[in-house]
Amino acid sequence: MNYKLLLKEIKIFVFDVDGVLTNGEVLILPNKEPVRSFNSKDGYALQLAIKKGYKVAIITGGHSDAVKERLTSLGIKDIWLGASNKIEAFEELTYMYNLEPKEIAYMGDDIPDYEVLMKVGLASCPNDACPEIREICNYISPLNGGKGCVRDLIEQTLKVQGNWMKKEDGIW
């Protein structure tokens, strides 16, 4: 099935952090604080999706307060940090909002995302995801993690649903 047909049903975007919203590198400062780099175009698309009425959630195994602060500054409210078992967080999310699989787009890049990717309507990954994840995804972004793959997925979905650059948004 053409993945663009699946985009028509999407109501919520769920993302991993490391390797999806970031390039997967974690720098450690002398004070032992981990530092990650986020793409501003991904940030724009995330906050726009929220303004357009889509839900956005994060499920990550990481624990960083700085990451949580960045995500909340974009308007994301549903954030699971330290999710060692992502499927539990995912099931909690689907229960909270009474979601059907066809309404959910999930983007992950590595083995901890596998089980969730198998349960959603649109399984997606960055171009540099591991082979096992690429193999099961409906859509593989041409962009790598941390390099705009999140924007790519959100923009395509909003365009298919007629919600990208609408005149009433004042973006002409």
Q: What pLDDT was estimated at residue 168?
A: 66
Q: What pLDDT was estimated at residue 172?
A: 45
Arch. (CATH architecture) of 3-160: 3-Layer(aba) Sandwich (3.40)
Can you say whether residue 32 is alpha, beta or left, with left for phi > 0 and alpha for psi between -120 and 50 degrees? Answer: left
Quick: pLDDT tens for 72-131.
999 999 999 999 999 999 999 999 999 999 999 999 999 999 999 999 999 999 999 999
Which pairing describes strands 122-125 and 55-59: parallel, antiparallel, or unpaired? Answer: unpaired
Three-class SS state of 78:
strand
pTM of the model: 0.94
Quick: pLDDT tens for 7-66.
999 999 999 999 999 999 888 989 988 889 999 999 999 999 999 999 999 999 998 899
With helix as H, strand as E and coil as C, how does 43-55 read? HHHHHHHHHCCCE
